[in-house]
Amino acid sequence: MKKSQIRIAAVIFALLLLIPFYYYGRGIWVPIYQKVAGKETVISVIEKYGKEADKRLIKHFEKANIEYPPKSIKLLALKEEKLIELWALDKDEYKWVTDFRIKAASGVYGPKLRQGDEQVPEGFYKVVGLNPNSSYHLSMKLNYPNGFDLKHAKNEGRDKPGNNIFIHGKAVSIGCLAMGDRAIEELFTLVYRVGKENTEVLIAPTDPRRFKLAAEVTDPKWVAELYENISKEFTKYKR
């Protein structure tokens, strides 16, 4: 084999290693990069992306005839459909504004039960943190496990129900909802404008307005209760 062919083969081999590392090793190399380049703040991120994100969002709110920013929002996440619906409070009712496509979400139908199961949780959550230095561009932390999750984990002796569940950018997920960079810039900006305390996130395995949610025979008994509550909540949101 000629030296030029060896070099080309070496380059191709290096790329085959580096490309997966770029996408799936972000938790390793991004923090190192941030130490060198410097970290962002929530304000600096809003200054960087907020203006353009606002422009895109305002178009959706104007079409829905809703004031921007609204006083309160609800994000309805559908795992099977890979979709987040944005609903905003208008006077005394929530109205649909737009949809965001979920780029990646690991796991299958069913709630998250333990650390490492790679499941996206199902239930009623709040955004408790905005992370401007996420390894996945930007992220919003959810309060999983919430009180409901912790109660049933304790009753079943599950001492590690998992944590660190985010809605974030890019298109790689291990138990989180990956939205892509453009969408997370809009969601991050919107939640900043509205306020974390005025943002609720409801995650369902599939759309209960179209399909009846049914627990598997192997699921804990409380899953049926959870699905009933999710289904009742979803009936409030009809386009």
Catalytic residues: 168, 176
Distance CA 107, CA 105 (A): 7
